[in-house]
A and B are shown apart, each in its own frame.
Chain A
Amino acid sequence: MPAIQTETQYVSSIGMEVHAELLTESKMFCGCRNAFGGEPNTRCCPVCLGLPGSLPVANRLAVELVIRAALALHCSISPIAEFDRKNYFYPDLPKGYQISQYDQPIGSGGWLDIETEAGPRRVHIRRVHLEEDTGKLMHLPTGDSAVDYNRSGVPLMEIVTEFPPDMGSADEARAYLVKLRAILTCIGVSDGKMEQGSLRCEPNISVRPTGASAFGTKTEIKNLNSFRAVHRGVQHELTRQVALLRRGERVAQETRGWNEARGETVLQRVKEVEQEYRYFPEPDLLPLHIDDAWVASIRAGLPELPDAARLRLVDQYGVSAAEADLLTQTAAWTAYFERAAGLCGNARATANWMMGELARLLNAANLEIDQCKAGPEALAELLAMVESGKISGKMAKGVWEAAFETGEAPAAIAARQGEQISDAGALGAVLNSVIAAQPDVWQALCAGDEKKLTFMVGQIMKQTRGKANPGEVNRLLRERMAGGAQ
């Protein structure tokens, strides 16, 4: 029994459904652009609006990306891609059915390996299939509802773990998602942006008394927009279910939403009756044949996967396993690292800096590494200056912050900062000469005319040709003013 014990009397079982929007230029069944955000209803057409008489035409690249993902997850590939209709009514579903894959997913029977403090575990994947995304329902302040169909018809890949579930803890749930995201971004199938909803995960969770053979009633959690939320949400739900059972109550089969602010899951929908989707083969699309040659060429085009990259980074650059984990979290991280380390020749320092300062600033700014203004060239330049002693480690931090903020080259920032006159003695001498030249202004300033302060600073900057450190000048002026007029 793969599930592990997290509470003394209960065993937890966690399965996961992950939806990833695919990185195609156009939508799944029409020519509309596949992109995030924008003015509502600006990227839709008769097909993705489900207007009468419109017909879907399958995007071959989307099929290829799913095959790619299925191969990276060690799945077997179906020789045929068939689409089915999943019928249900909802305002964000324009046709009244979603085109999906029912009994013949493109990929099935795969796995991925994770590692947590509890040890390594293989998580088996039941299926990887292709479908179309729905629109987005918005509730307006007026009380009305509105729908944005920009997302309608975006190609969506669904990855479902095997039952019975392999995972048994919040740590494992998070590790699974981290690894899955690393693989999907590495192979260029998904941008993995959880906060934008392009990667969405819905864990299903149940607990049962240790030794019991029947699984407990499961709940599903939605609205988990970060790894942290996944971990907290799963942990909260496990705790909630155990508490219910300990009180002698029962767990209801329901969908619960994660409330980040309150740190708890909240009931969204009771699912006592299995919804009836009336699946049947989509008659508007012909089955797509996936021949061996196609699969082989996709397999040949797969890049180095995160597991392999991780081993290689440890081996080739001498970074630690923990560093290698972080540096292979997405393909962009690995590429950034290798470029910077290659340029500056110091892999350990590069890894250190990326795990520390870069990760910190990215988190604070809520940015992805590929949105960062300071690229690997900038980091290499900075580290080279530190290494050669041109700047101190302390100064490097400030230079890096400025580079991160503005995208300016660290050498230029350092040069400017280095030329600045910050020395109190030197600045004091300049100040003395300015006071001597403008005694009336100085008297007025000391008498409380604050407007004269700007003038004095300006005079000092003029004398030093702009090299005076303005902060230091201000400080000195205040100090002198506090000391009173001479």
Chain B
Amino acid sequence: MEPLTYRSLRALRDAVCSGEVSAREITRAHLDRIAEVEPAISALLAVTTDGALAQADAVDAARSRGEELGPLAGVPIALKDVISTRGVATTCGSRILAGWKPPYDATVTARLREAGAVMLGKANCDEFAMGSSTENSAYGPTRNPWNLDRVPGGSSGGSAAAVAAGEVAGSLGSDTGGSIRQPAALCGIVGLKPTYGRVSRFGLVAYASSLDQIGPMARSVEDAALLLEAICGVDLLDATSVDAPPFSAEAVKRGDIRGLRVGVPREFMGDGIDGAVAAAVRAAVEALCSMGATAEECSLPTARHSLATYYILAPAEASSNLARYDGVRFGLRSEGGSGHAGMTEASREAGFGAETKQRILVGTYALSAGYYDAYYLRAQKVRTLIRRDFDAAFERFDVLVTPTSPTVAFGIGEKSDDPLAMKLADVCTLPANMAGIPGVSIPCGMDQGLPIGLQIMGRSFDEENVLRAAYAYEQATRWHTHRPEVAR
């Protein structure tokens, strides 16, 4: 029998429905795989064995009663640890939330449960999703399954590594500046940041509210599309969620891409982009053209300001979003200080890591009287310009294609002392967050034994065209079938 790990989401679900295997067998196989590779990779902060087996048994019981099973019945998944799970620790990779068990599920958690998915664990990430390497986790770094000396990317590094290593069939990450797409690229999987508002943020512990978006990570475009279909849709608990036309995973596989207009923004193909990465992306564009798409170079002149804009807006929102960690109601309380101010100071000093503190400081500064106009307000204006650049480009093109990451996975510790170099890792992904548009990363090559990611961006709420292009490319190539040899 074909091994259960590394099977596709759709194949696993079909196997459960047909009775070929039970959800319990699938769960057990993946728990075994977790036990096998986790010591090397450290993708998961918690493995929820009991809860997973109970969920699997519920699926099997439903099947034996002849009930119709959900679209993700028996599918093993992991959730980034910034996504709330009722009664299961949700730490955000931070010491300040060590042991925090939310009394509620995030909307996406509830929707996955409803669809029959089986949650195997919570995935490691940079503290409060702030970082590009998962080295900022208070619980230690996650390692790249392709090379254990390399980072998996971040901040959803645990979610990406767990999928790449076959620990789960799919996972959810969150993407504020590239945190789904960049680790997907570095781990050789598919990662989609949906349109802002496509997926409810209720229960996603906020980093930068106007940029955060939850999205799927999987080993194929179809699997990612199935996950998106299960979690998307308007939610009364999130006022920024949008009642958009429903997304259909089936439509992604329908038809061809003949006549699809592909734009290749030159700003993402020049300086700072590794030669092998640029070459792989060019080859991918040619592959799309060979399937009937038309491609043309274009320009997004203001996109290069995304990095500077992001590092004003995201920390500004973060400085406010993270104010609630004061030791009063939940999370770490340090008894060091005196009075409320003292307690709050001591708790935050002990509970937050260096990167988080730095962003809180930067954001507090950017919002201060006298600096607000020069920083926050100006950044908002630049953000509008970036959005307009994309609007103009999408008048001529259906999708835009760029590298996801300027380089393949870098070494653990390699950029820890160079914050600017670290932040440049997100230079290709940030613009989509600024504009709120969807973007997917799919594998498109290998360099030095490490995966290269191709980013495809599209119009707001046009995940269908983005994923259709990705699916067509995937069907025409074999990159997504490469598997890492995880060292024991």
Q: Hey, which bits of chain A sit against chain B, CB under 8 A? A: 46, 49-58, 85, 87, 89-91, 94-97, 145, 147, 276, 278-280, 283-286
Task: Enumerate chain B residues within 8 angstroms of A53, measured Cβ to Cβ.
Answer: 83-84, 90, 102, 104, 106, 202-206
Contact of A85 among B104, B320, B364 (CB under 8 A): B320
Task: Enumerate chain A residues within 8 angstroms of B84, measured Cβ to Cβ.
Answer: 52-53
Output the least CB separation between B88 and chain A (Å).
13
Residue of A nearest to B212 (CB): A283
Q: Does B239 contact A (CB under 8 A)?
A: yes
Q: Does B420 contact A (CB under 8 A)?
A: no
Return the CB mask of B332-375 against A: 1 if under 8 Å, else 0: 00000000110010000000000000000000100111001000
Q: Is the CB of B328 within 8 A of A46?
A: no
Output the least CB separation between A61 and chain B (Å).
15
Please, how many angstroms separate the alpha-carbon atoms of A262 and B369 in the complex? 40
Residue of A nearest to B236 (CB): A57
Q: Is the CB of A54 within 8 A of B202?
A: yes
Please, how many angstroms separate the alpha-carbon atoms of A286 and B326 in the complex? 27
Please, how many angstroms separate the alpha-carbon atoms of A339 and B121 in the complex? 67
Q: Is the CB of B237 within 8 A of A55?
A: yes
Q: Is the CB of B320 within 8 A of A284?
A: no
Q: A55-B239, A97-B323 are in contact. List 6 more A-B contacts (CB 8 A).
A: A52-B100, A57-B238, A57-B239, A89-B323, A89-B340, A284-B209
Q: Is the CB of B328 within 8 A of A147?
A: yes
Please, how many angstroms separate the alpha-carbon atoms of A94 and B238 in the complex? 19
Q: Does B330 contact A (CB under 8 A)?
A: yes
Q: Is the CB of B205 within 8 A of A87?
A: no
Please, how many angstroms separate the alpha-carbon atoms of A85 and B340 in the complex? 21
Please, how many angstroms separate the alpha-carbon atoms of A145 and B343 in the complex? 13
Q: Does B329 contact A (CB under 8 A)?
A: yes
Q: Is the CB of B340 within 8 A of A94?
A: no
Task: Enumerate chain A residues within 8 angstroms of B324, measured Cβ to Cβ.
Answer: 50, 52, 94-96
Q: Is the CB of B323 within 8 A of A280?
A: no
Please, how many angstroms separate the alpha-carbon atoms of A90 and B344 in the complex? 9
Q: Does B92 contact A (CB under 8 A)?
A: yes
Contact of B239 among A89, A278, A285 (CB under 8 A): A285
Task: Enumerate chain A residues within 8 angstroms of B320, measured Cβ to Cβ.
Answer: 85, 87, 96-97, 278, 280
User: Can you show 30 pairs from A to B with CB atoms below 8 A apart?
Assistant: A51-B102, A51-B103, A51-B329, A51-B330, A52-B97, A52-B100, A52-B324, A53-B202, A53-B203, A54-B202, A55-B238, A55-B240, A57-B236, A57-B239, A58-B239, A87-B320, A87-B323, A89-B323, A89-B340, A89-B341, A96-B324, A147-B328, A276-B368, A278-B319, A278-B364, A280-B372, A284-B239, A284-B240, A285-B239, A286-B239
Task: Enumerate chain A residues within 8 angstroms of B463, measured Cβ to Cβ.
Answer: none
Task: Enumerate chain A residues within 8 angstroms of B103, measured Cβ to Cβ.
Answer: 46, 51
Contacting A at CB under 8 A, from B197-233, are 201-206, 208-210
Please, how many angstroms separate the alpha-carbon atoms of A333 and B341 in the complex? 47
Please, how many angstroms separate the alpha-carbon atoms of A397 and B475 in the complex? 95
Q: Is the CB of B367 within 8 A of A280?
A: yes
Please, how many angstroms separate the alpha-carbon atoms of A147 and B340 in the complex? 12
Task: Enumerate chain A residues within 8 angstroms of B369, measured Cβ to Cβ.
Answer: 276, 278
Task: Enumerate chain B residues within 8 angstroms of A147, measured Cβ to Cβ.
Answer: 328
Q: Is the CB of B323 within 8 A of A46?
A: no
Task: Enumerate chain B residues within 8 angstroms of A85, measured Cβ to Cβ.
Answer: 320
Please, how many angstroms separate the alpha-carbon atoms of A85 and B376 in the complex? 14
Q: Is the CB of A57 within 8 A of B237?
A: yes
Please, how many angstroms separate the alpha-carbon atoms of A54 and B322 in the complex? 13
Residue of A nearest to B94 (CB): A52
Q: Is the CB of A56 within 8 A of B239?
A: yes
Contact of B90 among A52, A97, A145, A278 (CB under 8 A): A52
Task: Enumerate chain A residues within 8 angstroms of B201, measured Cβ to Cβ.
Answer: 55
State the majority secondary structure of interface residues on A. Answer: loop
Residue of B nearest to A288 (CB): B239
Task: Enumerate chain B residues within 8 angstroms of A96, measured Cβ to Cβ.
Answer: 320, 322-324, 326
Please, how many angstroms separate the alpha-carbon atoms of A87 and B360 in the complex? 13
Q: Is the CB of A283 within 8 A of B236?
A: no
Residue of A nearest to B238 (CB): A55
Residue of B nearest to A49 (CB): B329
Interface size of B by CB at 8 A reads 44
Please, how many angstroms separate the alpha-carbon atoms of A128 and B413 in the complex? 54
Q: Does B135 contact A (CB under 8 A)?
A: no
Output the least CB separation between B344 and chain A (Å).
6
Please, how many angstroms separate the alpha-carbon atoms of A243 and B60 in the complex? 83
Please, how many angstroms separate the alpha-carbon atoms of A52 and B97 in the complex? 9
- Residue of A56, A91, A286 ringed by the most chain B CB atoms within 10 A: A91
Q: Does B316 contact A (CB under 8 A)?
A: yes
Q: Does B474 contact A (CB under 8 A)?
A: no
Please, how many angstroms separate the alpha-carbon atoms of A89 and B206 in the complex? 18
Return the CB mask of B310-332 against A: 1 if under 8 Å, else 0: 00000011011011101011100
Please, how many angstroms separate the alpha-carbon atoms of A49 and B84 in the complex? 15
- Residue of A95, A97, A145, A280 ringed by the most chain B CB atoms within 10 A: A280
Task: Enumerate chain A residues within 8 angstroms of B240, measured Cβ to Cβ.
Answer: 55, 283-286
Task: Enumerate chain A residues within 8 angstroms of B203, measured Cβ to Cβ.
Answer: 53-54
Output the least CB separation between B219 and chain A (Å).
28
Task: Enumerate chain A residues within 8 angstroms of B376, measured Cβ to Cβ.
Answer: 280
Contact of B340 among A50, A91, A280 (CB under 8 A): A91
Output the least CB separation between B84 and chain A (Å).
4
Contacting A at CB under 8 A, from B55-93, are 83-84, 90, 92
Task: Enumerate chain B residues within 8 angstroms of A49, measured Cβ to Cβ.
Answer: 329
Please, how many angstroms separate the alpha-carbon atoms of A52 and B84 in the complex? 8
Task: Enumerate chain B residues within 8 angstroms of A55, measured Cβ to Cβ.
Answer: 201-202, 237-240
Residue of A nearest to B371 (CB): A278
Residue of B nearest to A274 (CB): B369
Task: Enumerate chain B residues within 8 angstroms of A280, measured Cβ to Cβ.
Answer: 316-317, 320, 367, 372, 376
Task: Enumerate chain A residues within 8 angstroms of B100, measured Cβ to Cβ.
Answer: 52
Please, how many angstroms separate the alpha-carbon atoms of A96 and B239 in the complex? 20
The 3 closest A-B pairs by CB, nearest first: A96-B323, A283-B210, A278-B367
Q: Is the CB of A278 within 8 A of B326?
A: no
Contacting A at CB under 8 A, from B15-72, are none
Task: Enumerate chain A residues within 8 angstroms of B364, measured Cβ to Cβ.
Answer: 278
Residue of B nearest to A88 (CB): B323
- Residue of A89, A95, A97, A145 ringed by the most chain B CB atoms within 10 A: A89
Residue of A nearest to B82 (CB): A53
Task: Enumerate chain A residues within 8 angstroms of B97, measured Cβ to Cβ.
Answer: 52
Contacting A at CB under 8 A, from B107-156, are none
Given contacts A58-B239, A278-B367, contact A46 B329 (CB under 8 A): no
- Residue of B92, B340, B341 ringed by the most chain A CB atoms within 10 A: B340
Q: Is the CB of B236 within 8 A of A94?
A: no
Residue of A nearest to B103 (CB): A46
Task: Enumerate chain B residues within 8 angstroms of A94, measured Cβ to Cβ.
Answer: 324, 328-329
Please, how many angstroms separate the alpha-carbon atoms of A87 and B210 in the complex? 17
Output the least CB separation between A254 and chain B (Å).
19
Q: Is the CB of A90 within 8 A of B239?
A: no
Residue of A nearest to B364 (CB): A278
Task: Enumerate chain B residues within 8 angstroms of A285, measured Cβ to Cβ.
Answer: 239-240
Please, how many angstroms separate the alpha-carbon atoms of A276 and B204 in the complex? 28
Task: Enumerate chain B residues within 8 angstroms of A278, measured Cβ to Cβ.
Answer: 319-320, 364, 367-369, 372
Given contacts A53-B202, A89-B341, A283-B317, contact A95 B323 (CB under 8 A): yes
Task: Enumerate chain B residues within 8 angstroms of A46, measured Cβ to Cβ.
Answer: 102-104
Residue of A nearest to B363 (CB): A278
Task: Enumerate chain A residues within 8 angstroms of B316, measured Cβ to Cβ.
Answer: 280
Residue of B nearest to A85 (CB): B320
Task: Enumerate chain A residues within 8 angstroms of B340, measured Cβ to Cβ.
Answer: 89-91, 145
Output the least CB separation between B233 and chain A (Å).
16
Task: Enumerate chain A residues within 8 angstroms of B102, measured Cβ to Cβ.
Answer: 46, 51-53
Please, how many angstroms separate the alpha-carbon atoms of A298 and B84 in the complex? 40
Please, how many angstroms separate the alpha-carbon atoms of A96 and B100 in the complex? 18
- Residue of A52, A55, A58, A280 ringed by the most chain B CB atoms within 10 A: A52
Residue of B nearest to A284 (CB): B209
Q: Is the CB of A52 within 8 A of B92?
A: yes
Output the least CB separation between B185 and chain A (Å).
27
Task: Enumerate chain B residues within 8 angstroms of A87, measured Cβ to Cβ.
Answer: 319-320, 323, 367
Contacting A at CB under 8 A, from B413-428, are none
